[in-house]
Amino acid sequence: MPEGDHKYQVTAVYQSWTAAAQPSNSVTVSSRRDLYISSQPSVSVMAGAKFSLTVQLRTLWEFPLLLGDIPVTVAIGASPGGGSLSGPTKVDTKWTGTATFNDLIITKAGTYTLTVSSPGFAGTVSRSFTVTPAAAAQLVVTTPTPVSGVASATANLGPVTVERRDQFGNPAVGTASSINLASDTSANGVFAETVTGPGITSVSIPAGSSSASFYYGAKIAGTTLFTVSGIGTPLSVPVQILPAQASKLEFGKIGLDGVLPKNVHFIVTVSVLDVFGNAVDAPTITTINQTGAAKCSIGGAPQTVSSVHGVASFIGLIHNGQQDDCRLTVTSTDLPPKDSATFKFR
């Protein structure tokens, strides 16, 4: 009968008749021989470091049982850390009745116990021991990426948390670490310890802690990167900067060096921009009109259009004949009007 808790039931049989008694209470069945851990793992083991334990076969009276070639298996018992055990987990006993497990490894930090078992022997459980993180070997940004927000002259996005970890991914503590922060030059980005705070170029992970936080901001909209470095390989962090609120209108280039051909239709484009010059991808109603010399009458103006992807295109504009000092003005609700540079027709 295998070890464990069991119930039994007596059934009387006479010819074709049977009668069953009530089931018994739970009865524990255990082996008359057991396993004893004679050498326990250290109370503290570093993640990835090899450790060992030794198991002794024993008699009912707890005397060593000298018996070789008995297979003994070790496995993780309690495992709040969710780790796994690697190494030689099945060993046969020597003639002395001992089985030594060398080169056992657990890489996930946490508190554990080990169980040992063998057919025909009552198993046992080791004392609890702690697997501690190894030395910091890498940086990980735990904040969801890409870091995203609107364009800003100050650090408005975050907090962004950077964590130092060992080679197995365990958060690693130790002495203070300085983490360097660098923005992609095209993004014109800034870092700060507090939201909209003064600019910094590094942040410190305090002694006894595994992480530090900071804020980031950039003026230029688009997809970019910033880099954190100081432990292991520098880590590039993706960033998505969105345009800020529309604040101004800007004419595109008109003609070649301000000269347009007479009697030919032309197109004028006007960009809807935020304060940093990023195109604002939101429909904006704009109107263009002729505001230059009185004789510079431009056909097709006034004209009202809605911007597409931050650009309003005015088509079918024309002027017949030669003329100097021509100018256009564009207006839009809630945005200041904008005059073009003067241009001429030849």
Confidence of residue 31 (pLDDT cuts 50, 70, 90): low
Residue 25 has what pLDDT?
75
Domain 138-242 is found in CATH 2.60.40.10 = yes
Confidence of residue 320 (pLDDT cuts 50, 70, 90): very high
Confidence of residue 149 (pLDDT cuts 50, 70, 90): very high
Cα three-residue angle 30-33-34, rounded to 5 degrees: 85
Residue 87 has what pLDDT?
97
- Is-same-fold flag (34-132; 138-242)? yes
Average pLDDT score over residue span 178-197: 92
Residue 234 has what pLDDT?
98
For the chain, give the percent of residues with pLDDT over 90: 81
Confidence of residue 1 (pLDDT cuts 50, 70, 90): very low
Please say if the pLDDT value at position 294 is more than 90: no
List pLDDT tens digits, range 220-263.
Answer: 999 999 999 999 999 999 999 999 999 999 999 999 999 999 99
List pLDDT tens digits, range 196-216.
Answer: 999 999 999 999 999 999 999
* Whether 141 contacts 181, CB under 8 Å: no
Residue 14 has what pLDDT?
64
Residue 150 has what pLDDT?
97
Whole-number average pLDDT of the chain? 92
Confidence of residue 20 (pLDDT cuts 50, 70, 90): confident
Size of the chain in residues: 346
Q: What secondary structure does DSSP assign to 23-75, as a single string? A: PPPPEEE--SSEEEEEEPPPSEEETT--EEEEEEEE-TTS-B----S-EEEEE
List pLDDT tens digits, range 101-133.
Answer: 999 999 999 999 999 999 999 999 999 999 999
Q: The whole model's pTM is what?
A: 0.79
Q: Domain 34-132: state its class.
A: mainly beta
Q: What secondary structure does DSSP assign to 229-256, as a single string? A: ESSSS-EEEEEEEEP----EEEE---TB
Domain boundaries along the sequence of the chain:
34-132, 138-242, 248-345
Average pLDDT score over residue span 150-161: 97
CATH topology of domain 248-345: Immunoglobulin-like (2.60.40)
Confidence of residue 156 (pLDDT cuts 50, 70, 90): very high
* Whether 91 contacts 100, CB under 8 Å: yes
Residue with tokens 């018992």: 77
Please say if the pLDDT value at position 4 is more than 70: no
